[in-house]
Structure 1
Amino acid sequence: MGLKVERWCQITWIIVCLFLSSLVEASDTYDHDSLDTFLCKHANRAIGKPRTGAFYNISLPGNFTGIDISVVRLRTVSFWLRGVNYSFFNIPKRVVPQPNRKRMAILYENLGNWSSHYYNVPNYTMLAPVFGIIPYTSSETTLIDCEKMNLIIQGKPIRIQFPHIRPHAKNVTPICVKFGADGSVKFRNMIKPYVCEAKSEGHYTIVVPTTKSHTQNLSKGFKFNIWWVLGFVICFVGLFVLVLVLIIVVKVVKRRKIRKMEKNSEKGEAFDTFWIGETKVPFASIRRTQPVLENDDVPS
């Protein structure tokens, strides 16, 4: 019984650990590198025979509703000579992509309402979605080779226009933010209302310092989530303890019944025993009752 109880404890402990780890992962931000890899591969599956110079709007699965992506394949020489102007991005000419390849593809990302799941700026509130401009190497048969490129800007910088801005305090000036691949956050002043300059590829947005009331609301929501998680864990552990106690009680009652039956059997008549397979059963010896005459007279 002890081994079985110990095994049940180990299994339940593993389940609790997995549950807690899933809660921690769910509360943390998502991996943006994994998102870029997924978008790259999905674009390749969506566009089987890409044409150079054509812009493609890629439809995403339902679980990524709210994210918009577009992609264009270019010759690197044409990109260097003319640049590219698309959607919210204006890339000037004389921008050098590295490593040097014959073709390249540019993936434009608008993370929409998923922005805060992949990126955040401590003590700041995002006023706009996170926009991304990611260059990749390309080939004749494949739209995106999923090898990222760097943009070396020698002249004018890239300009990003943020059209959808959330309301904010009038006395607060928004700030441009770039999210680095290493997790860094860089601030830069806007050149004009809701227009940011970029010196490299990456993800960008606009933020303002978080107000005190907003911070209090976030802290209240965080505390509520913590208490909800703790309550769930406590209920789960309490249910497990209750089930474990019931199992122990049932086993103890069974063991007592067996001992009581053994004691009763010891008080009765002792029987010989023999084995049937692996089972030991009682065996009563065979005795014949001697015949006795009712009358002593024996007929002649």
Structure 2
Amino acid sequence: MESKTTFIIKLVTFYCLCTLNLFNAIDIYHNDSLDDFLQDHAKKSIPKDPKAGKLYDVSLPSNFTGMEVSVVQLQSSSVWAQGANLSYFRVPPRIYPNPNVTWLDLVFSNLGNWSSYYYNMPNYTFVTPILGISAYGVRHAKGQNGQFTSTTTKLDLPLIRHPIMVRFPSVWLPRGKCVKFYSNGRTTITNMSLSHTCEVWGQGYFAIVARVPSTHHVWKLWVIGFGVGCVGFLLCGFVLFKIIRFVEKRKIQKMETESEKSEVLDTKYVGHSKMPCAFGIRTQPVLETDYFP
């Protein structure tokens, strides 16, 4: 059996490791290194001999469940001539990365349920998850020892004629506001030109948002709804009352008609009034003998 001292040492070690992992997670959640974090894992997920244009899933730590990241490697000349239609993004042609590289990596991210951890929009609510696109170039250089070293650089994608089209999945609001998040914390909001799609100029993180009504507006809508509901309830009650009265009236009329059909009475004038009169008795009474005693 373990001694008490050994047990305490293990418990303290476990606590320190958990605390260290928690601090690392918090640092990733709230600092500006999201691009570097995703790019680092994307670089590890690309095989040594990748196939150009093939989309590779990026493996993330288990505590990032719900976030989806993929990466694709393309030739700069191919992007210039044809563009790229991958994941949720349609990259137009006539784009040449800066600085100039032969190959570039496009990292696509869907933050999913992590969207609100990284970004916040006061007075707005997210209609879609946040989608991101980032471009990186790999430069290979030969060192003094004859070994090749590679360095990764974030690229700029200057758009000349057409914007990047971002099509969002699972949008319950076809038309909302397009928002772009910059690394320096700045945001821009634009109108949607196409259903479920945002036109963006440059790389970054994007989402569709809808404005949240103010408390005064919500209270006003609630009062209006309550009033309309009361009026509708009273109107329904009035209509139901009229229908019941109409049915009862028809029922009484039907009963009177049936009663008149079952017993036909003659009519006679009494003064100036016409009154019902029963028919005479068919058999007249006859005395048993015509002689009196």
If the TM-score is normalised by the length of the shorter chain, which range does it land in?
Answer: 0.5 to 0.7
SS in 2 for 1:73: strand
Q: Which of these two proteins has the greater Rg computed from alpha carbons?
A: 2
Query: Comparing both chains, which one has the higher relative contact order based on Cα–Cα distances under 8 Å and sequence gaps of 6 or more?
Result: 1
Give the share of equivalent positions with the same residue, in percent: 38
Q: Is the 8 A contact 1:179 1:185 kept in 2?
A: yes
Q: Tell me, what secondary structure is at the counterpart of 1:150?
A: coil
Deviation digits for residues 124-143 of structure 1 (CA, Å, limit 9, x no counterpart): 1111011001000124799x
How do residues 91-170 of structure 1 correspond to structure 2 at under 5 angstroms?
91-139=91-139, 145-165=151-171, 167=172
Length, aligned pairs only? 189
Task: Tell me the alpha carbon deviations over residues 56-77 of structure 1, each in whole angstroms, 9 at most, x when there is no partner.
Answer: 1112221010111111111111
Separation of aligned partners in 2, 1:185 and 1:107: 21
- The letter of the residue matching 1:45 is K
In structure 2, do the counterparts of structure 1 residues 139 and 146 end up closer, same or farther at CA, with 3 Å as the change threshold?
closer
1:59 aligns with 2:59: yes
Query: What is the one-letter code of the residue matched to 2:163?
Result: P
Show the counterpart of 2:222. none
Structure 2 CA distance for partners of 1:127 and 1:45, relative to 1, 3 Å = same
Is the contact between residue 41 and residue 146 of structure 1 (CA under 8 Å) also seen in structure 2?
no
Deviation at 1:42, TM superposition (A): 1.5
Preserved CA contact (<8 Å) 2:41 2:59: no
Distance apart, 1:207 and its partner CA: 0.5
Contact 1:29-1:118 within 8 A present in 2 as well: no
Q: Secondary structure at the match of 1:204?
A: strand
Deviation at 1:32, TM superposition (A): 5.5
TM-score using structure 2 length: 0.58
Cα distance between partner residues in 2 of 1:185 and 1:39: 21
Q: Does 1:79 align with 2:79?
A: yes
CA spacing shift, 1:32–1:77, aligned 2, 3 Å: farther
Correspondence for 1:178 among 155, 180, 205: 180
Residue 47 of structure 1 is matched in structure 2 by: 46
For residues 9-35 of structure 1, the C-alpha deviation after alignment (integer angstroms, 9 at most, x for no partner) is xxxxxxxxxx9xx99x96x99335322
Specify the code of the residue in structure 2 equivalent to 1:34: S
Matched AA of 1:183: G
- Mapped contact 2:28–2:34 kept (Cα < 8 A): no
In the alignment, is the contact (CA less than 8 A) between 1:73 and 1:105 conserved in 2? Answer: yes
Question: What runs of 5+ residues in structure 2 fail to find an aligned partner?
Answer: 1-18, 142-147, 219-293
Q: Is the 8 A contact 1:135 1:149 kept in 2?
A: yes
- 2:188 is paired with a residue of what secondary structure? strand
Q: Give, in whole Å, the separation in 1 of the partners of 2:28 and 2:195.
A: 29
What corresponds to 1:33 in structure 2? 32
SS at match of 1:37: helix
Q: Is the 8 A contact 1:174 1:208 kept in 2?
A: yes
Distance 1:74 1:60 in 2: 22
- The residue number in structure 1 matching 2:3 is none
Runs of 4+ with >4 A deviation? 139-142
Stretches of structure 1 lacking an aligned partner (at least 5 in a row): 1-18, 217-300
Equivalent in the alignment of 2:272: none
Matched to 2:71, the amino acid is V
Question: Cα distance, 1:95 vs. partner?
Answer: 1.5
TM-score, normalising length: structure 1 = 0.57
Please say which of residues 87-96 and 37-46 is displaced more in the overlay: 37-46
Contact 1:95 1:154 in 2 (8 A): yes
Amino acid in structure 2 at the alignment position of 1:108: F
- Alpha carbon RMSD of aligned pairs, Å? 3.2
**Alignment equivalent of 2:195, drawn from 160, 182, 193:** 193
1:45-104, Cα deviation, whole Å (9 max, x unpaired) = 233414133221112221010111111111111111110001211011011211111111
Residues 89 and 160, structure 1, Cα contact 8 Å, conserved in 2: yes
Distance 1:146 1:131 in 2: 22
Q: Which residue in 2 is equivalent to 1:228?
A: none
Where does residue 282 of structure 2 map in the other structure?
Answer: none
Structure 1 residues 66 and 146, CA gap change in structure 2 (3 angstroms): farther
Alpha-carbon distance change, 127 to 182 in structure 1, aligned in 2, over 3 angstroms:
same
